[in-house]
A and B are shown apart, each in its own frame.
Chain A
Amino acid sequence: MIRHLFKLIWNRKKSNFLLITEIFFCFLVLFAVLSLVVHNVRNYSKPLGFEHENVWLLTMRPASDSTELNRQNLEQVLQRTKAFQEVESVALTTSNAPFAFSQMNNNLAYGQKEIMANEYLVQDDFKEVMQVQVSQGRWFGRQDDASHHQPIVINRALQQQLFEGEDPLGKLIPRNDSLNYQVVGIVEHYRPSSEYTAEEPGFFVRIDLPKNENAFYGELLIRVKRGTGVAFEEKMVKELSGITKDWTLEVSTLEKMRQNKSKLAIVPLIALAVVCSFLIFNVALGLFGVLWYNISRRNGEIGLRRAMGASSGQIYRQFIGEVLVLATFSLLLGVAFAVQFPLLQVFEVESAVYFIALGMAVSIIYLLVMGCAFYPSRQAAAIHPAIALHEE
């Protein structure tokens, strides 16, 4: 039966050529869009690794070049913010704060392996401010003041890529000729760049203010008490600019920054999904029209089969089967093409994403063609043999 159907389609391959290409491109579009959607949804469902509610980011841009003065002001700002009643804890960091638009990368080497990882410079209190959970080892703190090595906390992704199953705690990673990093703890997740980005290897480096007398850090993360609002923000900025004079101070909530980031990820995705669904709908309508016309032209053939004793169910199954075979032809082509993405690792995306998208795209196409063939085939099956033969 199935072989017979293949033969039927193959014999009319010229007139079916357009349909096959149409389904083929339709599949490719679906596959591309679904891969993107699956990738984003999978990332979204993973934990961020920190709590961003009630955290504000204060950005400070000094006006003068005098390091000494800037440093003096910075320390005063730190003291003053900590003293506010509404503030729970604060931690300095760099421009790659959670949901910010900048990134800092560094090469890490261990044994033969070398990878690029995100570097997050943070103060000890960062753990309290962002409520990061350390799953193995410990967070750095005062006890590291005397250490020869610079303590770092790494995330699970870094551990998997760099240490590959080895226990990383206590291991040394050379930073430069005179200084080593020492791994003191591991966090399971840390995805600061956006809810829709994949987990990237990253590590936290301790900001030790007393040790670096000239260093300046322009970003301050502030965890405020629940329910603290703009009134306090205004008061805080006023008081702080009393200290810093002509610095540029900017406060934004991490929630706001998260919304900006997710808008940036979601809006193109929605636009793409809308365009894609209209394309598919368009194709479905076209397919429906063409199938209807093709099937109605084969009245004579249907009449003959019915007269020879085929039941209407058989006719019905034949037409649905034919369309499925047609779709299979294009899908074979399409899958052969699409499967190159996970095989060649074209983009840095997990293979699982592609396979899920592939499965979804294939089933959607099958459903689509079956849906399009349903009505015309039912009409064909309902034809009375006498009438069909009479027409011929």
Chain B
Amino acid sequence: MLKNYIKIAWKVLLRRKFFTFISLFGISFTLMVLMVATSLFDHAFGPQMPEREMDKLLFVNTMREQKQEGGFMTSGPPSYHFLHNNVRTLQTPENVSINSVFRTVNSYVNNRKLALDLKHTDQAFWDILDFNFLEGAPFGQQEVDGASRVAVINESTRKQYFGSSKVVGKDIVLDQVTYRVVGVVEDVPVLRLHSYADVWVPISLRSQDFNKARLHGSYFATIKAKNSADIPKIKEEYAAMMQHAERQHPEQGTELYSFPDTILESFARTFLGRGQEAGLSMLYTVLAGLIFLFMLLPTINLVSINISRIMERSSEIGVRKAFGASSSTIIGQFIVENVFLTLLGGILGFLLSAAVLKIINDSGVIVYADLGLNLRVFAWGLLLSLVFGLFSGVYPAYKMSRLKAVEALKGGTK
């Protein structure tokens, strides 16, 4: 039966090439935009090198200090002192890394300026995160303790600064300071704010920051849980620690806000968060609304095209009805046909999105972007095209199935 339906669908598609083209164009283009959007979303928030175990990772990136009177508020990255004394001491996490917010340093090679982003990290950083090393290895505890001038650089820096491939042991000069290269890693996309840099050096090189006993500074913490079930426990422990820190604050009535968040949570908190709430549900609502609005127009278009396509076949429906087919059988047939069409469009949309992602990657619009069509995105695309197909097929099929056999045989309604 299903095979028959698909056969009919294929024949119908071939008969009306122009309509087929319109439908396929609409479906594949809409899917392409959605796929590119999901890929961008994944690029920003999904698991990716070096943050692969996303379900076990939490990030601390802000400390908000709010005075009750006057509405005075300061917000920014926390200090090393705070992270070292309060976050590293947490019991539940498996490991905690403290690293600096990256900053730009200059390097001059052959009369050319190279602006590189430099990040100071501890040794735990390399244990928690999963970098792909092309050469050498990360610096170890010994180098961190000894404040050695060693550096891990990324692939692009290797190419731009050295131009050769064997660079471990060579020197790199940044802001007039010489570092010895110990490792080369694959480029990390800039949207991975907590791991991204061009050059990573030991955090102990900034030991002058270590003893400044204030809350604000320029450091992030990356927390790794033993397993994903521990995440809520870590959040609880963190909240208890924050309450303690608030009580210890020398000024009465100061409220402190800082949260260990997943990447998506910290993004939502920046734009939509209020107080304790991260605003994640709000973010999802907004995203869903946007997707709905975007899909609305192509869907209406597809529905009206489908109505025309189906109307054309009213005599066929009339014959089937006259021979005793029920409404639901006819609806079933048209939905199968429509899903077949959308799946076809889905495949096309796939090829299109692969092409577009390649263009985005090559254009360098996003620094070190490596957008790809992974299986997750593929699954999303497939699901979306199915929803799309059902959405645009049900109404016309329903409308047609209600036609009386006699009218349908005569050529449809007005």
**Which of A's residues lie within 8 Å of B, judged by CB?**
12, 15, 18-19, 21-22, 25-26, 29, 63-64, 229-231, 233-234, 237-238, 241, 248-252, 263, 267, 275, 278-279, 282-283, 285-286, 288-290, 293-294
> A231 to chain B: which residues have CB within 8 Å?
111
> A248 to chain B: which residues have CB within 8 Å?
103, 105, 175
Contact between A19 and B304 (Cβ–Cβ < 8 Å)? yes
Contact between A278 and B19 (Cβ–Cβ < 8 Å)? no
Given contacts A25-B296, A237-B106, 4 further A-B contacts (CB under 8 A): A18-B300, A231-B111, A248-B175, A289-B305
The residue in A19, A64, A230, A238 that gathers the most chain B C-beta atoms within 10 A of its C-beta is A230
Contact between B106 and A25 (Cβ–Cβ < 8 Å)? no
Report the minimum CB–CB distance from A63 to chain B (whole Å): 7
With A22-B304, A250-B104, A293-B311 as contacts: A233 and B113 at CB distance below 8 Å: yes
**Which of B's residues lie within 8 Å of A, judged by CB?**
18-19, 21-22, 25-26, 29-30, 33, 103-106, 108, 111-113, 115, 175-176, 208, 294, 296-298, 300-305, 307-308, 311-312, 365, 414
Secondary structure of the A side of the interface?
helix
Contact between B298 and A282 (Cβ–Cβ < 8 Å)? yes
In the complex, the chain B residue whose C-beta lies closest to that of A288 is B22
> A238 to chain B: which residues have CB within 8 Å?
176
The residue in A29, A63, A289 that gathers the most chain B C-beta atoms within 10 A of its C-beta is A289
- Number of A-B pairs, beta carbon distance below 8 Å: 86
> B312 to chain A: which residues have CB within 8 Å?
293
Write 14 A-B pairs (CB below 8 A) sorted by A numbering.
Answer: A26-B297, A29-B297, A64-B208, A229-B111, A230-B108, A230-B112, A230-B113, A234-B108, A234-B111, A250-B104, A275-B294, A285-B25, A286-B304, A286-B305
Secondary structure of the B side of the interface?
helix
With A234-B108, A289-B18 as contacts: A275 and B33 at CB distance below 8 Å: yes
With A248-B103, A282-B26 as contacts: A241 and B176 at CB distance below 8 Å: yes
Within the complex, which residue of A12, A229, A234, A283 is in contact with B414, where a contact is CB–CB below 8 Å?
A12
> B112 to chain A: which residues have CB within 8 Å?
230
Cα separation A26 to B296 with both chains bound (whole Å): 10
With A251-B106, A285-B22 as contacts: A21 and B414 at CB distance below 8 Å: no
Contact between A22 and B300 (Cβ–Cβ < 8 Å)? yes
> A283 to chain B: which residues have CB within 8 Å?
297, 301
With A251-B106, A282-B301 as contacts: A241 and B308 at CB distance below 8 Å: no
Cα separation A283 to B29 with both chains bound (whole Å): 12
> A25 to chain B: which residues have CB within 8 Å?
296-297, 300
With A12-B414, A234-B113, A248-B175 as contacts: A21 and B300 at CB distance below 8 Å: yes
Report the minimum CB–CB distance from A300 to chain B (whole Å): 11
